[in-house]
Chains A and B, each alone.
Chain A
Amino acid sequence: MNGVVGFMYPNEYALQWSILIVLYPFITGLVAGAFILASLERVFRVEAVKPTYRLALLTALAFLLDAPLPLQLHLGHPERSPEMYFTPHATSAMAMFGYVYLWYLMAVLVFEIWLDYRREIVILSQQSKGLLRVIYKIMTLGSSNISERALHIDDKVGWIVTLIGIPSAFMLHGYVGFIFGSIKANPWWSSPLMPVVFIFSAMVSGVAAVMLIYMATTKLRKLAIDMRCVDTIAMYMFYIFIIDFSLEMLDLIHRIYEADESFRSLDFMVHTKLFFSQIVLQIILGTLVPLTLLFITQVWKNNLTATVRKRIYVICGSLIMISVFAMRWNVVIGGQLFSKSFLGYTTYKMELVTREGLLAAVGLCVLPLLFLWVLVKLLPPWPEKGLHQAAAGD
């Protein structure tokens, strides 16, 4: 059989989880990371990252709306997915995730965005015309109370929601790692470190994504990038990335030192089938290079001009995104390439124009950016002159 080496059990030839299942933890990771960045400003009062606060919330929402779509495309019977809600299975992590997702979407993200934007929504519902006016009117839920006291209450409640949102974001993404980590039949996945590694890699990718989106949108709007903001984001990205890398190395060193019965098989795989995606892309290009570059910006920040720092941040952000995607790829695809007999290996041949092919995956990566574009048009994350004037006269 093509692409099969050695002895594979019959159910191991073909991979059951495709690139869409790689995309899923990648996208939920971006949601969690973006939300953590937003919480830096709201809960931890890191004023420097304020320009990205609303953008981070909208980015998280855009990616969260996209997150279940790879799963729906992967399902043989997507129409049965609501049954997960109707007949909840309390002992299944996958089944319970539906509730975590809904909680995070409605009780955390949508609620927080609504609270934060309520003042603008009310003003826009009075200023706009036509269909937009109707949409904004619906979004006000019939309340146009934007008195100082009401906005103060919104601020307080929003703070509490963000506070609840942080463990919720951890739960949203930690669960993905938990599912992989608890599959005891697969030595590549079965590790209690898996949820923690997933959370930290999620944080670093989400922060990088919001930083890149902020820099791109600011550039498109022909405005100056707030260097204090991106310097602070880069600093947090650097520290989180160090923790993430340390955890991944701890897992790797532990596996090498423990060298259990699966080690020779996994070691062979890392040196052959996963060499490019793990060693070259994930570790060298996606981790060591950005860590070194970010280290330079942290140590010699004053010696580097803003333009150089911006270029470094764009390179680092892009490499981090590639690295985290490669990490998801190595976990999901890598975990299915070897036989449980440890005596054989198979190959993943990605399809192109099929339901689980490359084209669908590219579409699912572009879709959240379209969602974000709509959200940004509807709820501008940056202060607009006209709106401020209107608000002042209100």
Chain B
Amino acid sequence: MKDAGHLFRFAGLFVVAFLVFLVVRGYVVPKTFGQYGHYRGAAIGEIAQHPVKFAGHQTCEGCHSDIADTKTKGAHAHVNCEACHGALYQNLPAPPPPKGNLYERFVALIVPPPPPAPPILLHADDPATVTPVKPDTLVLCARCHTASAAKPKGFPQVDPTQHMGGVPCETCHNPHSPAIGSDTSASPAAGGAK
């Protein structure tokens, strides 16, 4: 047994390494890991606490009833406001990030973590402060209406470079009711899309 003592020393290394592993594991693995599955259970609550950035078209229509009326008559009746205008909000100054445990702070030295989600202010709550930028129709309209073989034939589609030659779409089409000659403030132009 005396002559096999060194083997026990080597085995002891494994035992020590395993104990260190268990201690570190207990420290770095989040307490809620595995609560529901192979992920951190508390993440669900944290994600649920993120502020809602989309207001919904009903909120927009509360103030912009004239636009809503125009929209209901045109081809974009079922395109909701935020599909084009985006979620109209403004970020407020972020609170200082949480310090985290020792391991997280060490990791943060190598790879800085993403900043926490800042609190927000919605255009719907404070329209005077949060003033949205008007979308560029040259870019926005082309996203859906650029010609592609994969789109249904009945869907209006054009080659943007040939169709308008750099003139913004809203010059001829009212984005809220795009057919030329419909309820629009845009000047009519010959050869427009239906």
Contact = CB atoms under 8 A, between A and B. Distances in A.
A16 interface: no
Contacts of B6: 118, 140-141, 143, 145, 150
Question: Among the interface residues B6, B25, B107, which one has the most CB atoms of the partner chain A within 10 A?
Answer: B6
B109 to A, nearest CB: 10
A153 B2 contact: no
Interface in B71-102: none
B4 interface: yes
A323 B5 CA distance: 47
A95 B21 CA distance: 17
A150 B9 contact: no
A86 interface: yes
A384 interface: no
Contact of B29 (A86, A118, A150): A86
A86 B3 CA distance: 36
Interface residues of A, number: 22
Contacts of B2: 145
A239 interface: no
B13 interface: yes
Nearest to B34: A87
B15 interface: no
Contacts of B5: 143, 145
A147 interface: yes
Contacts of B54: none
A89 interface: yes
Interface residues of B, number: 22
A134 interface: no
Given A79-B110, A87-B29, A89-B38, A153 B3 contact: yes
B28 A86 contact: yes
A157 B29 contact: no
B111 A79 contact: yes
Contacts of B33: 87
A331 B38 CA distance: 31
A272 to B, nearest CB: 27
A89 B34 CA distance: 11
A85 B29 contact: no
Contacts of A153: 3-4, 7
Contacts of A89: 38
Interface string B105-141: 0010011000000000000000000000000000000
B4 A141 contact: no
B4 A87 contact: no
Interface in B20-43: 21, 24-25, 28-29, 33-34, 38
Contacts of B111: 77, 79
Given A86-B29, A87-B33, A111-B10, A149 B3 contact: yes
A147 B28 CA distance: 44
Given A77-B111, A79-B110, A143-B9, A87 B38 contact: yes
Given A79-B107, A87-B33, A145 B3 contact: yes
A106 interface: yes
A3 interface: no
Interface string B164-183: 00000000000000000000
B10 A141 contact: yes
B103 to A, nearest CB: 9
Interface in A153-175: 153, 157
B13 A141 contact: yes
14 contacts: A85-B25, A86-B25, A86-B28, A89-B38, A111-B10, A141-B10, A141-B13, A143-B6, A145-B2, A145-B5, A150-B4, A150-B6, A153-B3, A153-B4
Interface of A: 77, 79, 82, 85-87, 89, 106-107, 111, 114, 118, 140-143, 145, 147, 149-150, 153, 157
Interface of B: 2-7, 9-10, 13-14, 17, 21, 24-25, 28-29, 33-34, 38, 107, 110-111
Given A79-B111, A145-B5, 14 more contacts: A86-B25, A87-B33, A87-B34, A111-B10, A114-B10, A140-B6, A142-B9, A145-B3, A147-B3, A149-B3, A150-B4, A150-B6, A153-B7, A157-B7
